[in-house]
Structure 1
Amino acid sequence: MIEIKKSATADTRTCDWSKVTKEQLLESSRQHIGDVEKGIGFLVGKMCESAALHDHDKISDIDGFHRDFQTGFKQTEWWDKHRTINRHHLLQADGVPADVNLIDVLDMIVDCVMAGMGRSGSVYPLDVSPEVLMHAFQNTVELLKSQVQVIE
């Protein structure tokens, strides 16, 4: 859990701004900046987890991957499973997890850029639907909220 302290004095919507001293405002601002650092640190950690798990089944099921590969992906048993167990195949409907988040979106972007540049020197157009992006945005908000505990 990300612990943050209650702070009602850095926003005119949550306090009587006419009674907040400059010192209180400075302290509240420092606290807020530290809280944001904690939140971003959490998301960075999730990105690192995503990187460590990226395409893990290309290694753990190299036989299945190779079987589909050898058919030019006319046989797709491995590929169909791959899209459902990896969270970054957001261009195919069956590759979008119900709890898709912006970490998945960034994983997909990095995957496509690295694969495209490394294999052909270019990146094909990436067209994620606005609905998937908005769903990922909202799920990321909920993911972060679920990790925050406000202490007095």
Structure 2
Amino acid sequence: MEIQELQKKDVSFKEFQEANDMHIQDVRNIMNELALKLMVAGVTHDYTKKSDEKLFYKNFLSTINNNTDFVGDEWYQLHIKNERHHLLSRCPEDVNLIDILEMITDCVCAGMARSGDIRPIEIDNNILNKALVNTTEMIKNMITVK
């Protein structure tokens, strides 16, 4: 996305309006790109539960029938390696606020479906700060100033 830089000090009202309109449109465009990324995260959420469903089922049964460690099992390790939203188990280096929103949504939906309630969601401040910095950089990289 291209953004035009405005550096004149003596700006006419028409130039001001054009710059104002451009800024509003620029923000709209970036927000639309972010919304698309959020939609993609929703569409691909927990894809390993389907792509490796037999292994997931095997590990699930082993946990409830044999008291094995589900988190240490093969499927869960594959799951957290390939999916970005399990930030407390494995936080990607380029974590962003879309990952944060997916994690929050996942926790709320799982809690409500399983018990009708949610546990407090805790995300380390370092992860939140890194997500903020990375999201800022992601947005910056969406922009070309002309």
Aligned match of 2:27? 36
Task: Extract unaligned runs of 5+ from structure 2.
Answer: none
1:102 aligns with 2:97: yes
Identity level (%): 37
Q: Say yes or no: does 1:144 pair with 2:142.
A: no
Provide TM-score, normalisation by structure 1: 0.85
Question: How many aligned positions are there?
Answer: 140
C-alpha distance in 2 between matches for 1:67 and 1:60: 14
The whole-number CA distance in structure 2 between the counterparts of 1:15 and 1:70 is 68
CA deviation after TM superposition for structure 1 residue 103, in Å:
0.7
Deviation at 1:127, TM superposition (A): 0.7
Measured in 2, the distance between the counterparts of 1:110 and 1:3 equals 32
- Determine the structure 2 residue equivalent to 1:26: 17
Q: Which whole-Å CA distance do the structure 2 matches of 1:33 and 1:55 have between them? A: 35
Structure 1 segments (4+ residues) deviating >4 Å? none
**In the TM superposition, what whole-angstrom CA distance separates every residue of 1:34-88 from its partner, at most 9, and x where no partner exists?**
0000110110111111111110010010111111111225241111121111000
Q: Distance in 2 between matches of 1:108 and 1:15?
A: 44
Aligned-residue CA RMSD in angstroms?
A: 1.4
Matches within 5 A, 1:2-151: 2-4=1-3, 6-8=4-6, 14-16=7-9, 19-72=10-63, 74-75=69-70, 76-92=73-89, 95-151=90-146
User: Does the 8 A contact of 2:42 with 2:102 survive in 1?
Assistant: yes
Q: TM-score, normalization: structure 2? A: 0.89
Structure 1 counterpart of 2:93, one-letter code: A
Q: CA deviation at 1:23?
A: 2.5
Assess if the C-alpha contact under 8 Å between 2:5 and 2:145 holds in 1.
no
Instruction: Note the alpha carbon deviations across 1:74-110, whole angstroms, 9 max, x for none.
Output: 2411111211110000122xx2111111110011111
